[in-house]
Structure 1
Protein backbone atom coordinates (compact mmCIF):
# COMPACT_ATOMS: atom_id res chain seq x y z
CA UNK A 1 0.00 0.00 0.00
CA UNK A 2 1.31 3.44 -0.93
CA UNK A 3 2.75 5.34 2.07
CA UNK A 4 3.24 8.68 0.28
CA UNK A 5 1.16 10.37 -2.41
CA UNK A 6 2.48 10.37 -5.97
CA UNK A 7 4.91 13.15 -6.78
CA UNK A 8 4.94 12.81 -10.58
CA UNK A 9 3.28 15.32 -12.89
CA UNK A 10 1.86 12.81 -15.36
CA UNK A 11 -0.97 14.24 -17.38
CA UNK A 12 -0.42 17.84 -16.27
CA UNK A 13 0.60 19.99 -19.23
CA UNK A 14 3.33 22.46 -18.21
CA UNK A 15 3.31 21.56 -14.50
CA UNK A 16 5.88 24.26 -13.65
CA UNK A 17 3.45 26.94 -14.82
CA UNK A 18 0.65 25.38 -12.75
CA UNK A 19 2.76 25.49 -9.59
CA UNK A 20 3.58 29.17 -10.17
CA UNK A 21 -0.08 30.11 -10.44
CA UNK A 22 -1.77 28.01 -7.74
CA UNK A 23 -1.05 26.04 -4.56
CA UNK A 24 -1.38 22.39 -5.58
CA UNK A 25 -0.71 19.45 -3.27
CA UNK A 26 -1.68 15.82 -2.74
CA UNK A 27 -2.45 13.95 0.47
CA UNK A 28 -3.21 10.32 1.21
CA UNK A 29 -6.65 9.38 2.53
CA UNK A 30 -7.30 7.45 5.74
CA UNK A 31 -5.66 4.03 5.56
CA UNK A 32 -9.00 2.21 5.38
CA UNK A 33 -9.80 4.09 2.15
CA UNK A 34 -6.48 3.54 0.38
CA UNK A 35 -7.52 0.33 -1.39
CA UNK A 36 -9.84 2.50 -3.51
CA UNK A 37 -8.62 6.12 -3.24
CA UNK A 38 -5.37 7.22 -4.91
CA UNK A 39 -5.08 10.56 -3.13
CA UNK A 40 -6.79 13.80 -2.26
CA UNK A 41 -5.74 16.82 -4.31
CA UNK A 42 -6.13 20.33 -2.97
CA UNK A 43 -5.84 23.53 -5.00
CA UNK A 44 -6.06 27.12 -3.74
CA UNK A 45 -5.63 30.24 -5.87
CA UNK A 46 -5.59 34.02 -5.71
CA UNK A 47 -5.21 35.36 -9.23
CA UNK A 48 -4.96 38.84 -10.67
CA UNK A 49 -5.75 37.56 -14.17
CA UNK A 50 -7.45 34.40 -15.49
CA UNK A 51 -5.40 31.21 -15.65
CA UNK A 52 -6.22 28.19 -17.82
CA UNK A 53 -4.83 24.72 -17.11
CA UNK A 54 -4.89 21.66 -19.37
CA UNK A 55 -4.72 18.06 -18.15
CA UNK A 56 -4.62 14.71 -19.97
CA UNK A 57 -6.82 12.78 -17.52
CA UNK A 58 -5.86 9.54 -15.82
CA UNK A 59 -8.26 6.61 -16.29
CA UNK A 60 -9.85 7.47 -12.95
CA UNK A 61 -13.03 8.93 -11.50
CA UNK A 62 -12.75 12.13 -9.42
CA UNK A 63 -15.08 13.61 -6.83
CA UNK A 64 -14.59 17.39 -6.80
CA UNK A 65 -15.71 20.02 -4.30
CA UNK A 66 -15.15 23.62 -5.40
CA UNK A 67 -15.73 27.06 -3.94
CA UNK A 68 -15.13 30.30 -5.86
CA UNK A 69 -14.97 33.60 -3.97
CA UNK A 70 -18.05 33.73 -1.72
CA UNK A 71 -20.12 31.28 -3.78
CA UNK A 72 -21.62 28.17 -2.13
CA UNK A 73 -19.55 25.03 -2.38
CA UNK A 74 -20.41 22.81 -5.36
CA UNK A 75 -19.78 19.10 -5.83
CA UNK A 76 -19.50 16.95 -8.94
CA UNK A 77 -18.50 13.45 -9.97
CA UNK A 78 -16.12 13.51 -12.95
CA UNK A 79 -16.10 10.24 -14.84
CA UNK A 80 -13.06 8.96 -16.69
CA UNK A 81 -12.13 11.67 -19.19
CA UNK A 82 -11.17 10.55 -22.68
CA UNK A 83 -10.51 14.08 -23.98
CA UNK A 84 -8.16 16.83 -22.89
CA UNK A 85 -9.56 18.54 -19.78
CA UNK A 86 -9.30 22.33 -19.59
CA UNK A 87 -10.31 24.59 -16.72
CA UNK A 88 -10.15 28.37 -16.35
CA UNK A 89 -9.58 29.82 -12.89
CA UNK A 90 -10.24 33.44 -11.93
CA UNK A 91 -10.04 35.57 -8.81
CA UNK A 92 -9.89 33.38 -5.67
CA UNK A 93 -11.09 29.88 -4.97
CA UNK A 94 -10.43 26.45 -3.56
CA UNK A 95 -10.87 22.86 -4.67
CA UNK A 96 -10.81 19.70 -2.60
CA UNK A 97 -10.72 16.69 -4.89
CA UNK A 98 -10.71 12.92 -4.52
CA UNK A 99 -8.93 10.91 -7.20
CA UNK A 100 -10.04 7.30 -6.95
CA UNK A 101 -7.74 4.57 -8.10
CA UNK A 102 -8.71 3.29 -11.56
CA UNK A 103 -11.48 0.84 -10.73
CA UNK A 104 -11.71 2.18 -7.18
CA UNK A 105 -14.95 4.12 -7.61
CA UNK A 106 -16.97 0.96 -8.25
CA UNK A 107 -17.40 0.05 -4.53
CA UNK A 108 -18.95 3.49 -4.01
CA UNK A 109 -20.97 3.62 -7.24
CA UNK A 110 -21.95 -0.09 -7.27
CA UNK A 111 -22.86 -0.10 -10.97
CA UNK A 112 -20.93 0.01 -14.21
CA UNK A 113 -18.53 2.95 -14.04
CA UNK A 114 -18.79 3.24 -17.83
CA UNK A 115 -22.06 5.14 -17.22
CA UNK A 116 -19.95 8.07 -16.04
CA UNK A 117 -17.22 8.01 -18.70
CA UNK A 118 -16.69 11.27 -20.52
CA UNK A 119 -19.18 13.15 -18.35
CA UNK A 120 -19.12 15.46 -15.34
CA UNK A 121 -22.17 15.06 -13.14
CA UNK A 122 -23.23 17.64 -10.52
CA UNK A 123 -23.82 15.52 -7.42
CA UNK A 124 -27.34 16.95 -7.02
CA UNK A 125 -28.26 15.58 -10.47
CA UNK A 126 -27.45 12.05 -9.26
CA UNK A 127 -29.66 12.22 -6.17
CA UNK A 128 -32.45 10.10 -7.66
CA UNK A 129 -30.16 7.26 -8.74
CA UNK A 130 -27.26 7.17 -6.27
CA UNK A 131 -28.00 7.10 -2.50
CA UNK A 132 -24.75 8.87 -1.45
CA UNK A 133 -25.68 11.80 -3.70
CA UNK A 134 -29.10 12.03 -2.06
CA UNK A 135 -27.36 12.30 1.32
CA UNK A 136 -25.12 15.08 -0.01
CA UNK A 137 -28.10 17.05 -1.28
CA UNK A 138 -30.02 16.55 1.98
CA UNK A 139 -27.06 17.67 4.07
CA UNK A 140 -26.40 20.70 1.88
CA UNK A 141 -30.01 21.80 2.27
CA UNK A 142 -29.93 21.37 6.04
CA UNK A 143 -31.71 18.02 6.12
CA UNK A 144 -30.58 14.74 7.59
CA UNK A 145 -27.42 12.97 6.50
CA UNK A 146 -23.70 13.46 6.69
CA UNK A 147 -22.36 17.00 6.75
CA UNK A 148 -20.83 17.81 3.39
CA UNK A 149 -20.62 21.59 3.38
CA UNK A 150 -17.12 22.81 4.17
CA UNK A 151 -14.90 20.37 2.29
CA UNK A 152 -13.03 23.40 0.95
CA UNK A 153 -12.75 25.03 4.39
CA UNK A 154 -9.97 24.96 6.96
CA UNK A 155 -6.45 23.58 6.96
CA UNK A 156 -5.28 20.77 4.72
CA UNK A 157 -5.72 18.33 7.61
CA UNK A 158 -9.28 19.51 8.22
CA UNK A 159 -10.18 19.28 4.53
CA UNK A 160 -8.74 15.76 4.27
CA UNK A 161 -10.55 14.69 7.43
CA UNK A 162 -13.84 15.98 6.00
CA UNK A 163 -13.26 13.89 2.86
CA UNK A 164 -12.32 10.85 4.97
CA UNK A 165 -15.52 11.21 6.98
CA UNK A 166 -17.67 11.56 3.88
CA UNK A 167 -16.24 8.57 2.01
CA UNK A 168 -16.33 6.40 5.12
CA UNK A 169 -20.06 7.03 5.56
CA UNK A 170 -20.60 5.65 2.05
CA UNK A 171 -19.43 2.26 3.38
CA UNK A 172 -17.38 0.82 0.51
CA UNK A 173 -16.83 -2.91 0.82
CA UNK A 174 -13.98 -5.06 -0.47
CA UNK A 175 -14.71 -6.88 -3.71
CA UNK A 176 -12.22 -9.42 -5.11
CA UNK A 177 -13.10 -8.56 -8.72
CA UNK A 178 -12.52 -4.84 -8.13
CA UNK A 179 -9.26 -5.67 -6.32
CA UNK A 180 -8.18 -7.73 -9.33
CA UNK A 181 -8.92 -4.90 -11.76
CA UNK A 182 -7.17 -2.29 -9.61
CA UNK A 183 -4.08 -4.52 -9.52
CA UNK A 184 -4.15 -5.01 -13.30
CA UNK A 185 -4.36 -1.27 -13.97
CA UNK A 186 -1.59 -0.55 -11.50
CA UNK A 187 0.62 -3.03 -13.34
CA UNK A 188 -0.11 -1.30 -16.65
CA UNK A 189 0.80 2.06 -15.14
CA UNK A 190 4.04 0.85 -13.55
CA UNK A 191 5.30 -1.51 -16.24
CA UNK A 192 6.04 0.37 -19.44
CA UNK A 193 6.64 -2.93 -21.27
CA UNK A 194 2.86 -3.53 -21.24
CA UNK A 195 1.98 -2.47 -24.76
CA UNK A 196 -0.56 -4.97 -26.11
CA UNK A 197 -3.84 -6.22 -24.68
CA UNK A 198 -3.46 -9.78 -25.98
CA UNK A 199 0.02 -10.14 -24.46
CA UNK A 200 -1.18 -8.71 -21.16
CA UNK A 201 -4.21 -11.03 -21.08
CA UNK A 202 -1.99 -14.04 -21.79
CA UNK A 203 0.38 -13.01 -18.99
CA UNK A 204 -2.53 -13.19 -16.54
CA UNK A 205 -4.21 -16.22 -18.10
CA UNK A 206 -7.39 -14.32 -18.80
CA UNK A 207 -9.28 -13.98 -22.08
CA UNK A 208 -9.16 -10.67 -23.92
CA UNK A 209 -12.95 -10.55 -23.88
CA UNK A 210 -13.15 -10.92 -20.09
CA UNK A 211 -10.42 -8.31 -19.65
CA UNK A 212 -12.39 -5.88 -21.80
CA UNK A 213 -15.60 -6.51 -19.85
CA UNK A 214 -13.87 -6.04 -16.50
CA UNK A 215 -12.18 -2.79 -17.53
CA UNK A 216 -15.33 -1.26 -19.01
CA UNK A 217 -17.40 -2.18 -15.96
CA UNK A 218 -14.93 -1.28 -13.20
CA UNK A 219 -12.60 1.32 -14.77
CA UNK A 220 -14.81 2.96 -17.38
CA UNK A 221 -12.47 2.45 -20.34
CA UNK A 222 -11.17 -0.57 -22.23
CA UNK A 223 -7.70 -2.06 -21.58
CA UNK A 224 -6.29 -0.88 -24.93
CA UNK A 225 -7.30 2.70 -24.17
CA UNK A 226 -5.87 2.49 -20.63
CA UNK A 227 -2.53 1.23 -21.98
CA UNK A 228 -2.39 3.98 -24.60
CA UNK A 229 -3.33 6.67 -22.09
CA UNK A 230 -0.56 5.73 -19.67
CA UNK A 231 2.03 5.47 -22.42
CA UNK A 232 0.97 8.88 -23.79
CA UNK A 233 1.28 10.41 -20.33
CA UNK A 234 4.83 9.04 -20.18
CA UNK A 235 5.56 10.71 -23.50
CA UNK A 236 4.24 14.06 -22.22
CA UNK A 237 6.36 13.78 -19.07
CA UNK A 238 9.49 12.98 -21.06
CA UNK A 239 8.88 15.84 -23.49
CA UNK A 240 8.47 18.21 -20.52
CA UNK A 241 11.87 17.07 -19.18
CA UNK A 242 13.67 17.83 -22.43
CA UNK A 243 13.64 17.01 -26.16
CA UNK A 244 13.76 13.20 -26.46
CA UNK A 245 14.86 10.95 -29.30
CA UNK A 246 11.42 10.81 -30.90
CA UNK A 247 11.92 7.59 -32.83
CA UNK A 248 13.29 5.74 -29.80
CA UNK A 249 10.56 7.13 -27.53
CA UNK A 250 7.87 5.98 -29.99
CA UNK A 251 9.36 2.48 -30.11
CA UNK A 252 9.75 2.29 -26.33
CA UNK A 253 6.12 3.22 -25.78
CA UNK A 254 4.73 0.78 -28.31
CA UNK A 255 3.82 3.11 -31.17
CA UNK A 256 4.20 1.68 -34.65
CA UNK A 257 6.47 4.58 -35.60
CA UNK A 258 7.27 8.19 -34.75
CA UNK A 259 4.40 9.47 -36.92
CA UNK A 260 1.94 7.38 -34.88
CA UNK A 261 3.18 8.97 -31.65
CA UNK A 262 2.96 12.45 -33.15
CA UNK A 263 -0.61 11.86 -34.35
CA UNK A 264 -1.86 10.58 -31.00
CA UNK A 265 0.00 13.22 -28.98
CA UNK A 266 -1.44 15.96 -31.19
CA UNK A 267 -4.97 14.52 -31.19
CA UNK A 268 -5.11 14.40 -27.37
CA UNK A 269 -3.21 17.56 -26.39
CA UNK A 270 -4.05 19.79 -29.36
CA UNK A 271 -0.38 20.48 -30.19
CA UNK A 272 2.40 18.41 -31.70
CA UNK A 273 5.12 17.03 -29.42
CA UNK A 274 7.69 19.38 -30.95
CA UNK A 275 5.44 22.42 -30.51
CA UNK A 276 4.70 21.45 -26.92
CA UNK A 277 8.42 20.99 -26.18
CA UNK A 278 9.16 24.43 -27.68
CA UNK A 279 6.42 26.10 -25.64
CA UNK A 280 7.73 24.59 -22.42
CA UNK A 281 11.31 25.64 -23.19
CA UNK A 282 10.23 29.21 -24.04
CA UNK A 283 8.20 29.45 -20.84
CA UNK A 284 10.99 28.01 -18.68
CA UNK A 285 14.34 28.74 -20.35
CA UNK A 286 17.33 26.94 -18.89
CA UNK A 287 19.66 29.51 -17.24
Structure 2
Protein backbone atom coordinates (compact mmCIF):
# COMPACT_ATOMS: atom_id res chain seq x y z
CA UNK A 1 0.00 0.00 0.00
CA UNK A 2 1.16 3.60 -0.28
CA UNK A 3 3.10 4.46 2.88
CA UNK A 4 1.11 6.93 4.94
CA UNK A 5 3.80 9.07 6.53
CA UNK A 6 3.26 9.96 10.20
CA UNK A 7 0.52 7.30 10.45
CA UNK A 8 -0.34 7.98 14.09
CA UNK A 9 -1.29 11.56 13.29
CA UNK A 10 -3.31 10.30 10.34
CA UNK A 11 -5.23 7.85 12.53
CA UNK A 12 -6.59 10.83 14.46
CA UNK A 13 -7.74 12.63 11.31
CA UNK A 14 -9.37 10.06 9.04
CA UNK A 15 -10.76 6.53 8.86
CA UNK A 16 -9.28 4.03 6.39
CA UNK A 17 -10.91 0.79 5.18
CA UNK A 18 -9.70 -1.67 2.53
CA UNK A 19 -12.54 -3.90 1.25
CA UNK A 20 -11.56 -6.88 -0.89
CA UNK A 21 -12.38 -7.06 -4.58
CA UNK A 22 -14.33 -9.97 -6.02
CA UNK A 23 -12.26 -13.17 -6.47
CA UNK A 24 -12.51 -12.79 -10.25
CA UNK A 25 -10.57 -9.52 -9.95
CA UNK A 26 -7.82 -10.64 -7.58
CA UNK A 27 -5.21 -10.97 -10.39
CA UNK A 28 -5.70 -7.26 -11.14
CA UNK A 29 -6.90 -5.49 -8.00
CA UNK A 30 -5.00 -5.48 -4.70
CA UNK A 31 -7.99 -4.09 -2.84
CA UNK A 32 -10.43 -1.22 -2.76
CA UNK A 33 -9.91 1.53 -0.20
CA UNK A 34 -12.18 4.05 1.44
CA UNK A 35 -11.06 7.11 3.37
CA UNK A 36 -13.58 9.23 5.29
CA UNK A 37 -13.03 12.34 7.38
CA UNK A 38 -14.82 15.14 9.22
CA UNK A 39 -12.37 17.84 10.20
CA UNK A 40 -12.79 21.30 11.76
CA UNK A 41 -9.53 22.41 10.12
CA UNK A 42 -7.69 21.30 6.94
CA UNK A 43 -5.15 18.49 7.36
CA UNK A 44 -2.31 17.67 4.96
CA UNK A 45 -1.32 14.00 4.68
CA UNK A 46 1.95 13.02 2.99
CA UNK A 47 2.22 9.66 1.23
CA UNK A 48 5.20 7.71 -0.12
CA UNK A 49 3.97 6.01 -3.29
CA UNK A 50 3.97 2.34 -4.20
CA UNK A 51 4.48 1.08 -7.79
CA UNK A 52 0.78 0.72 -8.53
CA UNK A 53 -1.96 2.64 -10.31
CA UNK A 54 -4.91 3.94 -8.28
CA UNK A 55 -8.35 5.01 -9.48
CA UNK A 56 -10.03 7.42 -7.07
CA UNK A 57 -13.51 8.88 -6.70
CA UNK A 58 -14.01 12.06 -4.69
CA UNK A 59 -16.74 14.65 -5.12
CA UNK A 60 -15.58 16.99 -7.86
CA UNK A 61 -12.49 14.90 -8.69
CA UNK A 62 -12.54 11.40 -10.12
CA UNK A 63 -9.27 10.32 -11.70
CA UNK A 64 -6.89 7.54 -12.64
CA UNK A 65 -3.59 8.23 -10.90
CA UNK A 66 -0.50 6.89 -12.61
CA UNK A 67 2.43 6.03 -10.35
CA UNK A 68 3.80 9.30 -8.92
CA UNK A 69 7.59 9.35 -9.01
CA UNK A 70 7.88 11.33 -5.78
CA UNK A 71 6.20 11.88 -2.44
CA UNK A 72 2.81 13.50 -2.74
CA UNK A 73 0.42 15.26 -0.37
CA UNK A 74 -3.36 15.31 -0.05
CA UNK A 75 -5.23 18.04 1.82
CA UNK A 76 -8.38 16.91 3.63
CA UNK A 77 -10.88 19.54 4.75
CA UNK A 78 -14.45 19.61 5.98
CA UNK A 79 -16.25 16.28 5.68
CA UNK A 80 -15.73 13.92 2.78
CA UNK A 81 -15.00 10.50 1.35
CA UNK A 82 -12.69 9.01 -1.24
CA UNK A 83 -13.38 5.61 -2.80
CA UNK A 84 -10.29 4.12 -4.41
CA UNK A 85 -9.15 1.10 -6.41
CA UNK A 86 -5.59 0.00 -5.78
CA UNK A 87 -4.44 -2.10 -8.74
CA UNK A 88 -1.67 -4.64 -8.43
CA UNK A 89 1.66 -3.82 -10.08
CA UNK A 90 0.93 -4.74 -13.69
CA UNK A 91 -2.78 -5.07 -12.95
CA UNK A 92 -3.95 -1.91 -14.70
CA UNK A 93 -2.31 -2.77 -18.02
CA UNK A 94 -5.30 -4.65 -19.52
CA UNK A 95 -7.71 -1.84 -18.59
CA UNK A 96 -5.43 0.83 -20.06
CA UNK A 97 -4.59 -1.10 -23.21
CA UNK A 98 -1.10 0.41 -23.48
CA UNK A 99 2.13 1.03 -21.57
CA UNK A 100 1.46 2.00 -17.97
CA UNK A 101 4.45 4.37 -18.19
CA UNK A 102 2.27 6.55 -20.46
CA UNK A 103 0.36 7.75 -17.38
CA UNK A 104 3.26 7.92 -14.88
CA UNK A 105 3.12 11.22 -12.96
CA UNK A 106 -0.24 11.95 -14.60
CA UNK A 107 -3.85 12.18 -13.46
CA UNK A 108 -6.40 11.18 -16.11
CA UNK A 109 -10.08 11.95 -15.47
CA UNK A 110 -12.08 8.74 -15.10
CA UNK A 111 -14.68 10.25 -17.43
CA UNK A 112 -12.09 10.51 -20.21
CA UNK A 113 -11.01 6.90 -19.82
CA UNK A 114 -14.24 5.08 -18.95
CA UNK A 115 -17.09 7.56 -19.47
CA UNK A 116 -19.21 9.58 -17.00
CA UNK A 117 -21.56 6.84 -15.77
CA UNK A 118 -19.03 5.18 -13.45
CA UNK A 119 -18.10 8.30 -11.44
CA UNK A 120 -21.77 9.23 -11.10
CA UNK A 121 -22.67 5.78 -9.79
CA UNK A 122 -19.77 5.51 -7.34
CA UNK A 123 -20.25 8.98 -5.87
CA UNK A 124 -23.97 8.37 -5.34
CA UNK A 125 -23.52 4.94 -3.70
CA UNK A 126 -22.80 3.91 -0.14
CA UNK A 127 -19.59 2.06 0.59
CA UNK A 128 -20.88 -1.51 0.15
CA UNK A 129 -22.82 -0.63 -2.99
CA UNK A 130 -19.78 1.16 -4.45
CA UNK A 131 -17.78 -2.06 -4.01
CA UNK A 132 -20.46 -4.02 -5.87
CA UNK A 133 -20.60 -1.46 -8.68
CA UNK A 134 -16.84 -1.51 -9.10
CA UNK A 135 -16.69 -5.32 -9.02
CA UNK A 136 -19.23 -5.49 -11.83
CA UNK A 137 -17.59 -2.74 -13.87
CA UNK A 138 -14.08 -4.18 -13.75
CA UNK A 139 -15.16 -7.81 -14.16
CA UNK A 140 -16.91 -6.89 -17.42
CA UNK A 141 -13.62 -5.50 -18.76
CA UNK A 142 -11.05 -7.90 -17.30
CA UNK A 143 -9.44 -10.52 -19.56
CA UNK A 144 -10.61 -14.11 -19.19
CA UNK A 145 -7.05 -15.12 -18.35
CA UNK A 146 -4.40 -13.00 -16.62
CA UNK A 147 -1.50 -11.76 -18.74
CA UNK A 148 1.63 -13.83 -18.02
CA UNK A 149 3.84 -10.74 -18.29
CA UNK A 150 1.64 -8.87 -15.81
CA UNK A 151 1.98 -11.74 -13.37
CA UNK A 152 5.74 -11.74 -13.91
CA UNK A 153 5.97 -8.00 -13.28
CA UNK A 154 4.03 -8.36 -10.03
CA UNK A 155 6.26 -11.25 -8.92
CA UNK A 156 9.40 -9.19 -9.53
CA UNK A 157 8.01 -6.21 -7.61
CA UNK A 158 7.13 -8.55 -4.72
CA UNK A 159 10.64 -10.02 -4.79
CA UNK A 160 12.13 -6.55 -4.52
CA UNK A 161 9.86 -5.74 -1.57
CA UNK A 162 10.79 -8.96 0.22
CA UNK A 163 14.53 -8.24 0.01
CA UNK A 164 15.17 -4.67 1.23
CA UNK A 165 18.92 -5.30 1.00
CA UNK A 166 18.64 -5.66 -2.78
CA UNK A 167 20.30 -2.64 -4.40
CA UNK A 168 21.18 -3.52 -8.00
CA UNK A 169 18.91 -3.78 -11.03
CA UNK A 170 21.09 -6.43 -12.66
CA UNK A 171 20.79 -8.61 -9.55
CA UNK A 172 17.00 -8.29 -9.70
CA UNK A 173 16.99 -9.17 -13.41
CA UNK A 174 19.31 -12.11 -12.83
CA UNK A 175 17.03 -13.53 -10.13
CA UNK A 176 14.41 -14.00 -12.86
CA UNK A 177 16.76 -15.09 -15.64
CA UNK A 178 16.40 -12.01 -17.81
CA UNK A 179 18.55 -9.19 -19.08
CA UNK A 180 18.44 -5.75 -17.52
CA UNK A 181 17.03 -4.36 -20.76
CA UNK A 182 14.21 -6.91 -20.79
CA UNK A 183 13.38 -6.03 -17.18
CA UNK A 184 13.30 -2.32 -17.97
CA UNK A 185 10.94 -2.86 -20.92
CA UNK A 186 8.67 -5.07 -18.81
CA UNK A 187 8.43 -2.45 -16.09
CA UNK A 188 7.76 0.38 -18.56
CA UNK A 189 4.89 -1.58 -20.09
CA UNK A 190 3.32 -3.05 -16.95
CA UNK A 191 4.47 -1.20 -13.83
CA UNK A 192 4.93 2.35 -15.06
CA UNK A 193 8.27 3.06 -13.37
CA UNK A 194 11.72 1.52 -13.74
CA UNK A 195 13.19 -1.27 -11.60
CA UNK A 196 15.73 1.12 -10.05
CA UNK A 197 12.86 3.32 -8.82
CA UNK A 198 11.09 0.26 -7.38
CA UNK A 199 14.20 -0.96 -5.54
CA UNK A 200 14.84 2.50 -4.06
CA UNK A 201 11.22 2.99 -3.08
CA UNK A 202 11.01 -0.32 -1.25
CA UNK A 203 14.14 0.54 0.71
CA UNK A 204 12.59 3.85 1.75
CA UNK A 205 9.30 2.19 2.73
CA UNK A 206 11.30 -0.16 4.91
CA UNK A 207 13.41 2.67 6.31
CA UNK A 208 10.36 4.76 7.27
CA UNK A 209 8.76 1.83 9.10
CA UNK A 210 11.93 0.84 10.94
CA UNK A 211 12.96 4.40 11.82
CA UNK A 212 9.50 4.92 13.32
CA UNK A 213 10.00 1.73 15.36
CA UNK A 214 13.19 3.16 16.86
CA UNK A 215 15.86 1.19 14.98
CA UNK A 216 19.34 2.75 14.95
CA UNK A 217 20.35 4.48 11.74
CA UNK A 218 23.77 2.83 11.55
CA UNK A 219 22.33 -0.69 11.69
CA UNK A 220 19.49 0.23 9.35
CA UNK A 221 21.83 1.71 6.74
CA UNK A 222 23.83 -1.51 6.64
CA UNK A 223 20.73 -3.73 6.49
CA UNK A 224 19.29 -1.76 3.58
CA UNK A 225 22.48 -1.71 1.54
CA UNK A 226 23.40 1.97 1.95
CA UNK A 227 27.08 2.84 1.91
CA UNK A 228 26.79 4.57 5.26
CA UNK A 229 24.40 6.40 7.60
CA UNK A 230 24.90 9.70 5.77
CA UNK A 231 23.81 8.11 2.48
CA UNK A 232 20.61 6.83 4.08
CA UNK A 233 19.92 10.22 5.63
CA UNK A 234 20.33 12.02 2.29
CA UNK A 235 18.05 9.58 0.45
CA UNK A 236 15.47 9.66 3.24
CA UNK A 237 15.36 13.45 3.42
CA UNK A 238 15.20 13.85 -0.37
CA UNK A 239 12.11 11.65 -0.66
CA UNK A 240 10.32 11.99 2.69
CA UNK A 241 11.11 15.65 3.30
CA UNK A 242 12.79 15.36 6.69
CA UNK A 243 15.71 13.57 8.29
CA UNK A 244 15.26 10.09 9.79
CA UNK A 245 15.93 11.50 13.28
CA UNK A 246 13.20 14.12 12.96
CA UNK A 247 10.78 11.59 11.48
CA UNK A 248 11.44 9.16 14.34
CA UNK A 249 10.93 11.87 16.95
CA UNK A 250 7.59 12.84 15.41
CA UNK A 251 6.29 9.30 15.89
- Note if contact 1:114-1:219 (Cα within 8 Å) is conserved in structure 2: yes
Taking the TM superposition and a 5 Å limit, the aligned residue runs for 1:187-198 are 187-198=159-170
Partner of 1:17: 9
CA RMSD across the alignment? 1.6
TM-score by length of 2: 0.94
Contact 1:80 1:117 in 2 (8 A): yes
Residues 1-287 of structure 1 mapped to structure 2, 5 A cutoff: 11-67=3-59, 73-124=60-111, 127=112, 133=113, 135-137=114-116, 139=117, 147-173=118-144, 174-242=146-214, 244-280=215-251
Report the CA distance between 1:153 and its aligned residue: 4.5
Provide the C-alpha distance between the structure 2 equivalents of 1:212 and 1:249, rounded to a whole number of angstroms: 28
CA contact (8 A) 1:51 1:90 kept: yes
User: C-alpha deviations, 1:251-279, integer Å up to 9, x for none?
Assistant: 11121211111111101111111111122
Structure 2: distance between partners of 1:87 and 1:172? 33
1:142 maps to: none
8 Å contact kept, 1:43–1:96: yes
Distance 1:239 1:209 in 2: 34
For 1:156 and 1:194, the matched residues in 2 are separated by 39
- Rounded to whole Å, the distance in 2 between the matches of 1:100 and 1:35 is 9
Structure 2: 5+ residue stretches without partners: none
Return 5+ residue gaps in structure 1 as ranges: 1-5, 68-72, 128-132, 140-146, 281-287
Say which one has the larger Rg.
1
Q: How far 1:163 sits from its partner (Å)?
A: 1.6
The 2-side partners of 1:39 and 1:59 are apart by: 14
Q: TM-score, normalised by structure 1?
A: 0.82
